[in-house]
Structure 1
Amino acid sequence: MSLPVLYSFRRCPYAMRARMAMAVSQQVCALREVVLAHKPEALLQASPKGTVPVLVLVDGTVIDQSLDIMLWALQRHDPEHWLPTTEAAWERTRSWIAENDGPFKQALDRYKYPHRYALPDGMAHRAAGVVFLQALDAVLRAQACLAGPQFGLADAALAPFVRQFAHTDVVWFSQQDWPALQAWLTQFEQSTRYLHVMNKIPAWESGQAAVTFPSI
């Protein structure tokens, strides 16, 4: 391989945040869009758990956790200063991501897909997610972004999941008293960084030419 290979799925929030970090850090890769119902054998050979994103480096090293992909990219090049610069900032960032990837993601899945969990509806889990969103709104009322005055690692890691929660019921989300969170999400969705990583590409099949990402 002449480039790292990134297996991705356009709408997956984990894959979104990995693509954003690869793009902002200008780490060029061959992007392979995966159809999750028909996972390519090359993906399963690289990472038998079969989830995305998966980054396969030129030397064969496999990174199959989204946050690890973000850190790999940003530690190589961080032109927009996404990485925290103090231990206190790192602790806040780790705490936000742990809450997002744990209890909030669990509530989100059950709110959005109650039938997968044999639930009559997802309302109780929406209520559980609200607690986290209220906490985010409180922080964003005091500062422009979760990372501080500028967009950073915490914002990139959480925004795709907040977006998915919001789009489960857009009208309901817009009616909540979360002006700072709603403005932050709108700014994210309209940003060049988000729009770039959401460009559609055909599903990858073995033997196809590579799709270079980010575009060069």
Structure 2
Amino acid sequence: MTEDQAIPAPAGVSGRPLPVLYSFRRCPYAMRARLALTASRQDCVLHEVVLRDKPAEMIALSPKGTVPVLHLPDGQVLEQSLDIMRWTLARHDPDGWLSPETGSVAEMEALIAACDGTFKHHLDRYKYAVRYGPETDPLHHRGEGAVFLRRLNEHLTDQAHLFGSRPSLADYAIFPFVRQLANTGREWFDAQPLAELQTWLSGHLNSEIFQEIMRRKANEKRD
């Protein structure tokens, strides 16, 4: 987007422009962005998008047409959830999400990449099998997705979170997708021998920050 095409960002109470986040409440990618923005105490204007009628200004900023999209006051547009997380946490990371207690940053990033790659591939074909044609077997893809669940469960065997006793970027980037799979077949998920993972997921779903990002904001705009 050229400078003369940029859509100006609205100003906050202080008069300084605020970032604008285009989001959809139940989208796990958008959950990631809202979690990180909340953790970093970053004020923004939240636009809750109706996916069947996406706002023209969002499409102008990001023709890919998917959420989240963060429009920064300087005109920069962040179109990927992890880019939004890293941007806001690089500015302020009070809980040390970018500094895992155990393991390395590279290991944390690799686990997130596995979630976004192979696991997401199977999750989509389990949850949305009809989109991929009659030859798609959702139970097969559920079983393949369970391989990643077992990997997460192993991480949690001796620690409360994926990289130590406190949550890191990996926990917040991954749990929205585990939530999505669990909600697709809750009876199946609850019956799996994944006690540590189930406890971990329950803890995140009941956490104050997750409850906060799932509430409507006073400055939220509904498109």
Q: TM-score under structure 2 normalisation?
A: 0.88
Among 201, 208, 220, which residue is 1:192 paired with? 208
Q: Return the TM-score normalized by structure 1.
A: 0.91
In 1, Cα distance between equivalents of 2:131 and 2:145: 18
Choose the corresponding residue for 1:13, options 11, 17, 28: 28
Tell me the SS of whatever aligns to 2:104. helix
Alignment of 1:17-32 (within 5 A): 17-32=32-47
Aligned pairs for 1:1-216 within 5 A? 1=9, 2-84=17-99, 89-119=104-134, 121-200=137-216, 204-205=222-223
1:129 CA drift (Å)? 0.2
Structure with greater contact order relative to length (CA < 8 Å, sep ≥ 6): 1
Q: What SS is found at the alignment partner of 1:163?
A: helix
Q: Distance between the aligned counterparts of 1:85 and 1:129, measured in 2?
A: 25
Query: Which blocks of at least 5 consecutive residues in structure 1 are unaligned?
Result: 206-216
Give the secondary structure class of the aligned counterpart of 2:157.
helix
Instruction: Name the CA shift for 1:87/1:68 in 2 (closer, same or farther; >3 Å).
Output: farther
Shift of 1:148: 1.2
The offset of 1:122, in angstroms, is 0.3
Change beyond 3 A, Cα 1:171–1:88: closer
> Once superposed, what is the RMSD of the aligned Cα atoms?
1.6
Following superposition, the deviation at residue 204 of structure 1 comes to 2.3
- Verify the 8 A CA contact 1:115 1:121 in the aligned structure 2: no
- Residue in structure 1 matched with residue 5 of structure 2 by the alignment: none
The runs of 5 or more residues in structure 2 that have no matched partner are 1-8, 10-16
Identity of aligned residues (%): 50
| Partner Cα distance (1:85, 1:187) in 2 | 18
One-letter amino acid of the counterpart of residue 46, structure 2 = L
Tell me the distance in 1 between the aligned counterparts of 2:198 and 2:180: 13
In structure 2, how many angstroms separate the alpha carbons of the residues matched to 1:28 and 1:54?
Answer: 15
Asked if structure 1 preserves the Cα contact closer than 8 Å seen for 2:102 and 2:163, the reply is no
Residues 110-169 of structure 1, C-alpha deviations (whole Å, 9 max, x = no match): 000110001354001001101000010011012110121101100000000000000101
| Contact map agreement 1:111 1:123 (CA 8 A) in 2 | yes
Output the CA distance in 2 between the equivalents of 1:146 and 1:191: 16
Secondary structure, aligned partner of 2:21: strand
Amino acid across the alignment from 2:212? H
Instruction: Judge conservation of contact 2:70–2:78 (CA < 8 Å) in 1.
Output: yes
SS state at 1:6 partner: strand
